[in-house]
Structure 1
Amino acid sequence: MSKSFHKDVLNAINKKSGKKISSGAVNKLASTVKPSTMQNEAQLRQLIKQVSSMANIPVSEDTIQEIVGAVKKSGMNPSNMEALMKMMMNK
């Protein structure tokens, strides 16, 4: 992903959450994501909860289930995360 895209995503997250999240924190979390994370429901749920906690935005169990379903249905893999982030930013 491009550096300007990273900055745009981080700015959007900070604006929506009202909390200053550092790029280092995002990079640290992103480094834990493996291709298997997107296929393992327990790991994916944990990742969603970590992001929710980092952004200080509560996520309901229904929303978590919707995200898990969407990721599994799309066959999303970490190499195509930029497309997913763009889609999420437009919501």
Structure 2
Amino acid sequence: MNKSFHKEVLNAINKKSGKKISSGAVNKLASTVKPSTLQNEAQLRKLIKQVSAMANIPVSEETVKEIVAAVKKSGMNPNNMESLMKMMLNK
């Protein structure tokens, strides 16, 4: 992920959440994500809930289902986290 995009994503998360999230916290969470995470619904749900908790933004079960369906439907390359972040920011 390029540096300017990383900064843009972090700024968007902080603005939406009203909470200052450090790049270290994001990097720590991102380091646990593997390509298989996006292929396994249980792992993807867990990731969505972790991001929700970190940003202190509640995510309804309906929204979780929509994100899971969008990830599956998109056929996105699980190695491309930038695409996933863009999709989630537009949600």
TM-score over 0.5 (shorter chain): yes
Superposition map of 1:7-86 within 5 A: 7-86=7-86
Measured after TM superposition, the shift of residue 81 of structure 1 is 2.0
**Partners in 2 of 1:39 and 1:89 — Cα distance?**
20
Task: Find the counterpart in structure 2 of residue 88 from structure 1.
Answer: 88
Task: Find the counterpart in structure 1 of residue 3 from structure 2.
Answer: 3
**Partners in 2 of 1:70 and 1:20 — Cα distance?**
27
CA change 1:26–1:39 in 2 (3 A) is same
Aligned partners of 1:45 and 1:68 also within 8 Å? yes
Aligned residues: 91
Give the unaligned 5+ runs of structure 1: none
Aligned partners of 2:67 and 2:88 also within 8 Å? no
**Partners in 2 of 1:78 and 1:48 — Cα distance?**
15
Q: TM-score, normalised by structure 1?
A: 0.91
Give the unaligned 5+ runs of structure 2: none
Percent identity reads 87
Aligned partners of 1:14 and 1:55 also within 8 Å? yes
